[in-house]
Structure formats: structure tokens, C-alpha cells
Structure 1
Amino acid sequence: MPTGSAGRHVAICTAAAHSHIGPLLGMVTELVRRGVRVSYATTPPFASLVEAAGATSVPLRSTLPTDPADWPTDVRRLPLLYLADARATLPALESHFARDRPDLVLTEDPAGAGRMLAAKLGIPAMQVWTYLASRGHWSLAEPGTANANPCAAEFMASLDAFLAEAGVRSGAREHLDSALADGLVLIPRSFQPDGEAFGEEFAFVGPALAPPLPHDAQWSPPPGSGPVALVALGSIDHGHPEFFAMVAEAFTGLPWHVVMAVGDRVDVRALAPLPPNVEVHAWVPQTAVLEHASLAIHHGGMSTTMESLHHGVPSLVVPRLPEQAGNARRVRELGLGTALPFRSVTADALRRTVLRLHAHEGVRRRVKAMREEIRRAGGRVAAADAVEKRLTPA
């Protein structure tokens, strides 16, 4: 067994995606700095990312699709897809961690392999919310009720079978209720709908961004340029060249400098010619650009939304998925920006919205207040404090 301080080994199991791993890296860095040994179970493409934060990568072979085109079109079936992946990956997790037993397991999915590992081995577990927190399973509700996912009964039966196979005595409902009773929430409390109703057992620490490192990529606006707009559609579903071309058209002739991150599914050359105030890259150091930005135009992923608020930048959200639409709705409710429908947005509508949003004193004031709340929440330091509290026997 690797050496390390007794009672100071944390295992982390999350979805293998930038939007799920990135929000935790600041906390990982802080835990490692404090002498906590961190093992992060993830797929090979993300091994170097978690290792750069100081964690030990535990190889995992996920069964989840890597191409957005291969995901179910009916999002209500996603819990079943994640549950199947948990069943497929649990044996590898158990094989590794039975030999190198952690003192605490941090996991996102209350029905995932990490939570099941903890239940099977009798290890304490802690829920980590990179999205909105919930005191009930958000995607299911109670089978047979008006708001239930039509797949709820199938999911609960499959989870019951999974628990039985793993030798865990609790049933599906008890297992989920226990997992969702508390946890670490990586958003500010005021962004959470009905956040005041969540007790102190939920630690709202805000985005736990990693500290800048000397080798991190930098970005600065060209000398004499106007306000900066960051444009990005996230790390997965970004293959929409028509959207990026429309954004370039919207900003043509405006005294703005636009930085577009189009991902690896758009041919940058196909967007040419571009106006001189628009620069395009596959990827950009997003937080470095946000340090200079006056506006972020994005898909509404929670990671990008929180990074924007952390830097005091209003959002213009163009959501595609239900959870992104939920974030867009929350941005509008709190007056932190606005949203436009992805499928019907036009260059003219985008241009008018950008100019109106940039001139809105109330939005700037509220975004500044949210940035201050985020700083008070504590970020990566408060997140590490909450984890260490769980590591300390009562």
C-alpha cells in the first residue's frame, strides 16, 4: 500500500469530462498541499489533468459515449446509461481500492460506482455537487407521480438489483436518500434555487478554481482593443460552425475584441474570412481570457457559468440541453445576464442583446455582488476544509 498519513486518503470518482473534473481541481490542489493523498479515478485522456493537480490517477474504462452524436436523444434515459456505466466500472474500482483503501470517497452520482464502492467497502462517502444541489434524486422523482421520469421505475428496479449484486443491504430509495442528505456544493448558495432551505449539512463553497500556475497559458487583449467577449460552447457539444460564423457576423464593425473557442469539431479555416476584431482558436485558456472580459457568450454549462461569475463577467447564455436551460433561467432570474434560444438566435438579435447587456448598470452591479459572495464562500480553501472535516473522526 502506498505511504501516506493515516486517515488522510481521499478517492474521487466523477464523470470523465472537463466540466466535471475541472471544477474539482482547485480543491484537489489544496488537499494535496495540506498533505492529503488524493486518488482520482478517471479515463486515460484525463489522467494528466488530475496528476497535474497533484492527484494519483486511477485508470478507469468508461462505457459512456465520447461523441455527443452517440448519446440518447431522450435525456430521460440518461440515468439508466449512467447506471450501466457504474455497473461496468465498479469491478475495476473495487480491485484497486480494496488494496489501497481510502478514508473517504467523493462522488457526484448518488447511484454511481464511487458511491457503490463506498457502500460495499464500508467507507464514508461525500456527495460533491458540481451542478445544482438536490435533496431528492433530480432526474427521477417518485415512480408513478406526476413529475416522475417515465424511466423511474426501471431505474429503481435496476438500482435495487445492482445493490443486491454488490452485497449492499439498503434498497434503492434508502441508498439515494442517504447519498443526497448532505454534501459539498461548488456554487454560491444564492445561485441555488431555494438555497436558504438547505441546512448547514450542505457546504456551499462556490467555484473551487485552481490557483494559477507559472506554466499556465496566458492571454492578453491586443493593445488599444475595446471590451472583450469570450465565446465558447463547452468541451463536448461544440461542433456548430454556423453558430460561430453568426457570432463573427454579429460583432463585425463593433469596437469589441472577440475570442472564440470553437473546440476540436470545427475547422477554423472554414470560418474565414473573419473580421479583424475576432480571433478564433480550438481552445483558449478560458479563465485567463475571463480576467479581461466584459461579457461571456456560452452554452450555460455550470463550469463556464461559475467561472464567469467568479471573474465578475455577465453571461449571455445560448443553451442547448435541459440543464443548460436551467442555468440560463437562473442567470436571468438573478439578473446576472440574459439568454437567447440557440436554435433561433440570429446575428442581429445577438448584436442587439450584446449592446443592451453591456450597457445595463443593474446587471454589472448584481454580477459584482455575486463575485463578492463567491469570494466570501471560500472556494477551494473552504472545499478542502469541508473534506478535512469529514476525514476527522467525530
Structure 2
Amino acid sequence: MIQNVTHLLKTRRFVPLFVTQFLGAFNDNLFRTAMVLLVIYGIYRSAEQEALFSAIAGLLFIAPFFLLSALSGQLADAYDKARIARAVKSAEIVIMLFGAAGLYFLNIPAMLVALTAMGIHSTFFGPIKYAILPQHLERDEVLGGTGLVEAGTYIAILGGTILGGLLVVQDPDGRYHAEYAALGVLLVAIAGRIAGQFIPAAPPSTEDSGTLNDPDLPRPGLDWHIVRASINLVKATMHVPRLFVAIMAISFFWAIGAVLAAQFPPLVKNVFGGDQSVATLFLAIFSIGVAVGSVIINRLLKGEVSARFAPMSALLMGACVLALYGLSISWTPYPELVGTRIFLEEPTGWPVVLSLFGVATFGGMFVVPLYAFLTTTVPKSETARTVAANNIVNAGAMVLSAVLLAGLLKLGVSVAQTLLLVAAGTIVSAWLGRKLHLACLEAGCA
């Protein structure tokens, strides 16, 4: 039961993975926030360029999930997940050397190379993160463990976001610098590798397969043809009705979430007239909201893996997005960029923050149970590949949303108007959540 899973924070079967994941998410967001704020506030001077850069950065980070998730899932199911985690965290140190150089020298290509490489890093760590949980935890601990990981991840995002914003500083001449952010991403990468050393062994499961492959056939070897492997993995997973609906619901959620997240810095600067401290506040509030939503849904479900609250959560998220849109179109920005104090002194400043908090909270309530569902309704020998198949479809949906967003911006759609696209998407998410709940009731899995 969720009220009892805090004991996991004292056990080696959970804590090293939790800390490793925490530091990885922290570093991702420390680097990305520093990069985006440095580029948008310190290099570019065009609203269109800024919005387009934000969309392209999101696309580069997500593309590896689409291309390499099948391989990462196969590796995680075929080899010891703890050993792979340590190899991935060692690679993060090398990646952050490039990232630190980009931040230090204000080199956009170097920063984008590091961002893409961090996408590859996350692609290979993602299946491990979720697949180890049912291997090391009891069944009634998995939902709580997933909730703790998600809450911890978004607290890490919060910390990384805040620190990334604070470490991008403006000198008296008006130029922006990120030398301390460059040092920070290296130190966090090293700490993550140390934490990964303590993850207990997680060898391939010997449990018979019954969902993705015929148990009477020999298990195939690794398929290094990434396109064929991706197609085969998605086909093998998506033919199971409940998995199909769950993955589609998660994918659609992240597609609209990608549009929303990509627009935060341009929305703050060009709609609300806020400086980088306000952009950091937006990202921080979003992270806090998802963490709160993760805790609330675990309390409501009391350890049960169920999608029964998903439709309501998605619709409430959409209502909060509409409120944010209404506030954005009625906002009159100052002639120059303002800080957090002045922004919050506006009569509608706090309503904007509360609307954003609502979006994130109900989003967390929607998506957390769906990840727990993916890892508890398939054999343990197939969890990594199930998560990998989910990541492929998620990434494809986010890539399409990024391309759509870039196209809309090119056609002259405003940053504020893209919020309407997000609000409409939550209706589809609610419908998919309802379908999943009904499918689970019929199959006896919820």
C-alpha cells in the first residue's frame, strides 16, 4: 500500500536506483535549462527564432527514443540491468564534457550535440529504470515505488531547473554567462556514476514469456537493425489490446506535454514579459505540480494499479490549460522584461501560477498509474521491452508534435494560441484513459 512504501527509501533494492535516476533527471534539467535560457536570453533576439530553437531542442532530445528504444529494451532484458546502468552513467560524464564546453564557450552546436547525446543516454536508462522496479520490489510495492520514482524525478527536475536558472548570470555589460552551470553538470554526472555503482544486480529474468513472444519458441538474439527491431517490437507489444490503449494514452499525453514544455520559456519572455527568473519559476512550478500529482494519485488508489481516475485527471488538466490561455491573452506585458517579484505582484500573476500548477498536478495524476500498469501486467522477462516499445511510440508522438509545433509557429500561430492545441489534446487523453479503464475491467487487470 502506498502509505507503507516509504520504507523503500531505506533499502538498497530501491535507494541506489532512486538516487541514480534522481541525479540523472537533475542533470538533464540543469543542462537543458541553462542551455535554453542562455540561448533565448543571451544569444537570440527574435521571438520566432526563440520558439523555433526551443522546439528543435526538444526534437533532438526525443529523437533517440524513437530510433534506439528497441535496442535499449533488448539489452535491458538480455543483460544485467545494473551493469548497463553503470555503463550509461559513465557515458554521461563524457557527454557532459561536451555540454560543459558548449555552455562555457556559448557554442550552440556543442550544446545541441550534448543534448542529443543526453537523449541517447536517457533512451538506454529509461527501460532499466522501470524494469528493475518489478524485479526488485514486491507486486504491492510497484505502484508506490513508481510513484516515488516519478515524484523524485520531478523534484529533481525542479532542483535542476532552479539551479540551471540561477547559474545563468548576467554581467554588468548585459552579457549572459554559464561557467558555473558547466562545472555543475560535470559534478552531477560524476555523482550519478558513484550512485549507480551500488544498484543491486538485476540479471535477465528466467520467467516464461507469455505476452510478447510465443513461449514455445526460442528467445531471439539481439536485432541490431534499429528500424526492423523497432517495428517488430512495437508490433509485438501493440497487438495486446490493453497495452495498445495504455501506450497510446501515455504517448498522447507526452505529445501535448512536449508542446507545453517547449513553449514555457518563449511564453514567459514574449507573452508575460518575464525574465529568466520567471521562466525558471514556471518550470519549477510545473515540476512541483507533477510531483504532487504523483503523490495524490497513489493516495487515492491505495496501491492498486488502475486507470479509473485517468479521464477526470485529463479533463481537469485541460480546464487548467484553458485558464492559462485566458490569462495569457489578457496579459499586458511591461515594456521591458521583469523579475519574479514584479510578475507576482500583477493581479493575475498568482492565478497564472495556480493554473500552471493545476496543469502539472492533474497531468501527474493521469500518467503515473499508466506507467505502473505497463510494468505489472506483463511478465518480468518482458518489462524492459514493453517500456521500450512505449518509449518508441511516445517519442514518435513527441517528434510529430514538435514538427507540428514548428510548422504552426512558421505559419504565424502565436505561442499563446498553441495552448488551445494542448487543451484540445486533453480531451483525447481523457477518452483514451476511459478506454483503458474499461479494457482493464474486462480483462480483470484493474
Instruction: Please give the TM-score of this superposition, normalised by the length of structure 1.
Output: 0.31
Identify, as 1 or 2, the structure richer in strand. Answer: 1
- Structure having the higher helix fraction is 2
Q: 1 or 2 for the larger relative contact order (CA 8 Å, sep ≥6)?
A: 2
